[in-house]
Structure 1
Amino acid sequence: MADFADTRVSLAGHGTLVALAATASASGACLADVAGIRVTVRVPPHLTIAAQQNILILRRGSAYWAIAVLPAAPAVPPPPPPPDDSPPVDRGDPAPAPKPVVTTGTLVCPPVATSTWRDGKWRTDIGSSTSTDTYQGRYSGSGFGRNSGFAFYGSKPRSLAGATVTKATVKLRRLTSGDYARRTPTLRLVTQPTRPGSFPTVNETTAGPALGAQGQVSPWETTFELPTSWGQSMVNGSRGGLCITVASDDPYIRLAGRDSWSAAWTLTLYWRRS
């Protein structure tokens, strides 16, 4: 049956029309708007209509029938942009790779022990066996054997493992003992990082600084530069200490240990890491 709108405007003869459902279908009918006119549309049992859906309707006599629900327009992706025919922009050579970050620093390593070996044992007659002065050679006319003085550095140098040593120095002070003329100790690298019970293993050798006796002949104190490879071997862990020792009795030399001078045998390692 027609609704009130049918008395105002007739849609007869328009054939199939598209309408917008104003209500959902219920009891076989719904309201729909078409061409500005609200009409009652009959809905077949097989069709379900929701409000605001576009529907296809057909008029037969005075009645409007829904024959299909129109699907929403498919989403069409936008067309690809046209090819860029402009010539490429010359941006020059690529930027160089950033330089590696290089870190540098110094590590100060006081000895964990300074000791002197003589006649098959560590000397205790001149003080503590782990902080005594360090001697080299034999005092003229002495009935005792030759002395060898040692400084051990523990594990601290190895805290720089992986770094490159650029410089290594050691602080030495010669005390009064023997003659007063300037004498040169023979420095050796030691394998052990701490004092063993037996005579340590000595390795590489180099001549130390020429020092006079303290208070008699200058200089008697110095910061001596060691071979760089010596510092590297301590960082790498293959060496752990320094010593003064000679195969003969002379020169007889006494260098300060920890008890005599707090800075005695202090090792400083200059390093870089990238």
Structure 2
Amino acid sequence: MPDFADTRVSLAGQGSLIGVALTASASGACVALVAGIQVTVRVPVGLTIAAQQSMLILRRGSTYWAISVLTAAPVIPPTVPPPADTPPASDPAPAPKPVTTTGTLVCPAVTTSTWRDGHWRTDLGSSTSADTYQGRYSGSGYGRMSGFAFYGSKPRSIAGATVTKATVKLRRLTSGDYGKRSPTLRLVSQSTRPGSFPTLNETASGPALGVQGHVSPSETSFTLPTSWGQAMVDGSRGGLCMTVSSDDPYMRLAGRSSWSAAWTLTLYWRRSS
């Protein structure tokens, strides 16, 4: 009958080996089972081995050295892909869309007046709601006239808004001939009537109007340059004027006393936030 020596396997020349400690390390050694063979394994200082731990063993000659304790393979959880409708975490959220507000601001004239010969005319009734004249009546010994409308602070109540359209209501009354004539419009710096002649700026040709009751049209809602309305809102301009550098065309447009809607300014605006 064969003895235990018949079952031994030579471990010479196998390089690194794996063994299971049968005893805990003590006094720099432990007993381990390597390929079915029970051997004594030297344990370096600083390495502690418990019974039943697997270890990596290096053989040098007839001496076995434990070089490390083997741990179980790490468990790596599977990567779960994000749902199809979930954007990548690195994608920033889109910026919110700007909110655009639109509106209409109606600005009645606070004053309508006519200037002639170095002062505001007072012979037309109230000098702050008088009809507005342009030019000079043929044969008149008086000087040329200029009519004004001032709008106070109301246009500036929407400061910061962008003006998209500006209109003014005009009505021509009897004076001069009946044919269609166009006032020359000017943008005025002042928003209230000054004691002296106002400061005139930009110019534009007004609508061709006939005299009320004789030639149509005599009344209109005339579209001003958009930049004029913007200047009113921004505060750099405050009024409108009808004036010419010659006597003609001589014409009269209604002031507040003749027509409550006279020279009413309407501003169409938008604002984004």
* TM-score, structure 2 as length reference: 0.69
Equivalence map 1:35-74=2 (5 Å) = none
When residues 109 and 85 of structure 1 are mapped into structure 2, their CA distance, relative to the original with a 3 A threshold, is same
State the distance in 1 between where 2:219 and 2:76 align: 83
Matched with 1:226 is: 224
State the distance in 2 between where 1:127 and 1:87 align: 85
Amino acid at match of 2:212: Q
- 1:158 corresponds, among 156, 159, 173, to 156
Matched with 1:238 is: 236
Amino acid at match of 2:109: P
* SS across alignment from 1:171: strand
* SS across alignment from 1:234: helix
* SS across alignment from 1:233: helix
- 2:80 corresponds, among 86, 99, 119, to 86
Shift in Å at residue 212 of structure 1? 0.1
When residues 238 and 83 of structure 1 are mapped into structure 2, their CA distance, relative to the original with a 3 A threshold, is farther
State the distance in 1 between where 2:96 and 2:81 align: 30
- 1:119 corresponds, among 117, 120, 132, to 117
For structure 2, the residue ranges without an aligned partner over 5 or more in a row are 1-74
* SS across alignment from 1:174: strand
Shift in Å at residue 160 of structure 1? 0.5
Shift in Å at residue 84 of structure 1? 5.1
Matched with 1:176 is: 174
Matched with 1:258 is: 256
- 1:197 corresponds, among 195, 198, 210, to 195
Matched with 1:103 is: 101
State the distance in 1 between where 2:80 and 2:213 align: 86
Amino acid at match of 2:180: R
Matched with 1:71 is: none
State the distance in 1 between where 2:78 and 2:226 align: 62
When residues 98 and 140 of structure 1 are mapped into structure 2, their CA distance, relative to the original with a 3 A threshold, is same
* SS across alignment from 2:228: helix
* Percent of aligned positions that are identical: 80
Amino acid at match of 1:85: T
State the distance in 1 between where 2:76 and 2:106 align: 69
* SS across alignment from 1:158: helix
What's the CA shift string for 1:89-113, capped at 9, x where partnerless?
4435866332111100000000110
For structure 1, the residue ranges without an aligned partner over 5 or more in a row are 1-80
State the distance in 2 between where 1:148 and 1:217 align: 23
Shift in Å at residue 85 of structure 1? 1.8
When residues 255 and 86 of structure 1 are mapped into structure 2, their CA distance, relative to the original with a 3 A threshold, is same
State the distance in 1 between where 2:160 and 2:269 align: 10
Matched with 1:38 is: none
Cα RMSD, aligned residues only: 1.6
Q: Tell me how many residue pairs correspond in the alignment.
A: 194
* TM-score, structure 1 as length reference: 0.68
What's the CA shift string for 1:222-243, capped at 9, x where partnerless?
0000000000000000000000
Shift in Å at residue 86 of structure 1? 2.2
- Give yes or no for the alignment of 1:211 onto 2:209: yes
Amino acid at match of 1:172: L
Amino acid at match of 1:191: S
* SS across alignment from 1:193: coil
State the distance in 2 between where 1:257 and 1:144 align: 21
State the distance in 1 between where 2:157 and 2:111 align: 18
Matched with 1:19 is: none
